[in-house]
């Protein structure tokens, strides 16, 4: 249920109403939109009558039921407005959202050593990326495969952050690593395999760092939004949804099927910002550029691209990694599509540098 307040509603009245809703046993959440304030209500609202709620204040314009099972993640919950995630980085605040230029995240699958991560960070920054990705803890199908360098890799990411000012995005696999990881990560990634690890979702929902929630390999759009809802319901409103390819019957050429129609579908269902990862989405470097181009044309808010200084020697995911040179070229190509659509800034540096 959402309560749309009239334009100009006094703060005191909003506060009073909020308290009243609490007294009714509901969990009110104040959402400040462009023109209006909305109070989101989650709880036992099924039996409530919108008209009765409307009588609680003359400043209420409208009371609307949120029909979707994902309440806080639904677009209705923000009265149809998109939300944005604002991420402070050494280079300034980066905004990811429908009304902002496309943000690019780039870097290797895993942090291998200091030289490679810093070199990669410098190269992707120079090409226009605002975030460095790099795994310290790696979910690998085989227990005998390289599992990431763990905490020591976190230190290397911190060094790359300091050297370049880029924000850091890295994956959390185990709640017991949350504290050290959150210290250096600007965005915490929850990987596809943990999308329905509800214990982990509740824990990252109970802390402040923004969350990048990758779609599970066989997660429906609704499953995915319900997973986001776990994080939102636990108190963290900063969730970015990342499509990274789904599992289908054909895996001979592309490893996964990148579901770009998720972009318009999510746009109508949720206010949350969207990221596309064409590297995992296709599994082959040669397919990445055209899928990155397509993502922008389809309306993504951000992109995640794997870049490795020497893909052939990568400890993981080499076949899907671009070289820094190929990434330079890709960024120039992306501008060709992004600029006329008004989603690409020439000076790709964050606000406030």
| Residues 183-212 within binding reach of a copy of itself (CB under 8 A) | 193-194, 196-200, 202
Q: Cα angle at 117 between 119 and 142, to 5 degrees? A: 140
Whole-number Å distance between alpha carbons of 327 and 323: 6
Choice from 299, 309, 318, 319 touching a copy of itself (CB under 8 A): 299
Choice from 7, 22, 297, 353 touching a copy of itself (CB under 8 A): 297
| Maximal C-alpha separation, the chain | 67
Q: Is 258 in the site for a copy of itself (CB under 8 A)?
A: yes
Q: Is 325 in the site for a copy of itself (CB under 8 A)?
A: no
* Helical residues (DSSP H) of 165-277, grouped into ranges: 178-184, 198-205, 221-233, 262-269
Choice from 4, 42, 96, 181 touching a copy of itself (CB under 8 A): 42
Q: How many C-beta atoms surround the C-beta of residue 217 within 10 A?
A: 15
Q: Is 48 in the site for a copy of itself (CB under 8 A)?
A: no
Q: Is 150 in the site for a copy of itself (CB under 8 A)?
A: no
- 84-92, 115-123, 282-290, 311-319 -> range binding a copy of itself (CB under 8 A): 282-290
CB of 62 or CB of 196, closer to a copy of itself = 196
The interface with a copy of itself within residues 76-135 (CB under 8 A) comprises none
Q: Is 222 in the site for a copy of itself (CB under 8 A)?
A: yes
Q: How many C-beta atoms surround the C-beta of residue 150 within 10 A?
A: 13
CB of 161 or CB of 343, closer to a copy of itself = 343
The interface with a copy of itself within residues 154-173 (CB under 8 A) comprises 173
Q: How many residues line the site for a copy of itself (CB under 8 A)?
A: 73
Q: Is 53 in the site for a copy of itself (CB under 8 A)?
A: no
Q: How many C-beta atoms surround the C-beta of residue 153 within 10 A?
A: 23
The least CB distance from residue 141 to a copy of itself, in Å, is 5
The least CB distance from residue 219 to a copy of itself, in Å, is 8
State phi, psi for 42 to the nearest 5 degrees. Answer: -120, 145
From residue 329, how far is each of 171, 313, 322 by CA, in Å? 27, 21, 10
Contact 204, 190 (CB under 8 A): yes
Q: Which residues pair with 27 in a beta bridge?
A: 42
The least CB distance from residue 297 to a copy of itself, in Å, is 4
Q: What are all long-range contacts of 257-261, with beta carbons under 8 Å and residues at least 24 apart?
A: 257/281, 258/282, 258/291, 259/215, 260/291, 260/294, 260/295, 260/298
Q: Is 239 in the site for a copy of itself (CB under 8 A)?
A: no
Q: Is 176 in the site for a copy of itself (CB under 8 A)?
A: yes
The least CB distance from residue 9 to a copy of itself, in Å, is 28
Q: Is 272 in the site for a copy of itself (CB under 8 A)?
A: no
Q: Is 142 in the site for a copy of itself (CB under 8 A)?
A: yes
What SS3 state is found at 169? strand
CB of 57 or CB of 207, closer to a copy of itself = 207
Choice from 71, 100, 125, 343 touching a copy of itself (CB under 8 A): 71
Tokens of 193: 């395999």
Whole-number Å distance between alpha carbons of 234 and 237: 9
From residue 246, how far is each of 167, 233, 281, 308 by CA, in Å? 27, 26, 7, 24
Choice from 50, 337, 345, 349 touching a copy of itself (CB under 8 A): 337
Whole-number Å distance between alpha carbons of 118 and 211: 24
Tokens of 40: 């989101």
The least CB distance from residue 163 to a copy of itself, in Å, is 30
- 7-15, 125-133, 213-221, 320-328 -> range binding a copy of itself (CB under 8 A): 213-221
CB of 15 or CB of 145, closer to a copy of itself = 145
Choice from 33, 259, 309, 328 touching a copy of itself (CB under 8 A): 259
């Amino acid at each position: 249920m959402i309560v749309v307040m009239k334009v100009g509603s006094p703060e005191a009245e909003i506060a009073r109403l909020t308290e009243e809703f609490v007294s009714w046993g509901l969990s009110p959440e104040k959402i400040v939109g462009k023109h209006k304030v909305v109070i989101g209500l989650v709880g036992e609202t099924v039996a409530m009558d919108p008209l009765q709620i409307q009588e609680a204040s003359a400043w209420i314009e409208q009371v609307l039921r949120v029909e979707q099972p994902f309440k806080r993640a639904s677009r209705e919950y923000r009265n149809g407005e998109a939300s944005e995630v604002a991420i402070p980085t050494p280079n300034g605040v980066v905004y990811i959202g429908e009304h902002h230029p496309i943000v690019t995240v780039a870097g290797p699958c895993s942090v291998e050593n200091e030289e490679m991560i810093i070199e990669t960070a410098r190269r992707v920054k120079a090409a226009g990326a605002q975030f460095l990705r790099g795994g310290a803890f790696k979910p690998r199908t085989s227990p005998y495969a390289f599992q990431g360098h763990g905490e020591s890799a976190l230190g290397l990411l911190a060094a790359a952050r300091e050297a370049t000012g880029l924000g850091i995005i890295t994956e959390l696999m185990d709640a017991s690593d949350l504290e050290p990881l959150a210290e250096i990560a600007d965005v915490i990634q929850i990987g596809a395999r943990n999308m329905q690890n509800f214990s982990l979702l509740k824990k990252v929902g109970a802390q402040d760092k923004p969350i990048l929630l990758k779609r599970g390999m066989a997660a429906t759009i609704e499953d995915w939004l319900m997973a986001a809802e776990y994080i939102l319901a636990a108190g963290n409103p900063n969730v970015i949804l990342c499509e990274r390819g789904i599992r289908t019957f054909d895996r001979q050429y592309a490893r996964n099927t990148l579901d770009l129609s998720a972009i318009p579908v999510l746009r109508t269902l949720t206010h949350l910002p969207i990221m596309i990862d064409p590297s995992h989405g296709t599994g082959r470097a040669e397919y990445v550029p055209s899928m990155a181009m397509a993502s922008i044309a389809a309306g993504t808010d951000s992109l995640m691209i794997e870049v490795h200084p020497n893909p052939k020697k990568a400890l993981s995911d080499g076949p899907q990694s671009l070289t820094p040179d190929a990434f330079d070229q890709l960024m120039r190509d992306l501008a060709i599509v992004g600029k006329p659509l008004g989603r690409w800034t020439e000076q790709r540096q964050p606000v406030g540098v």
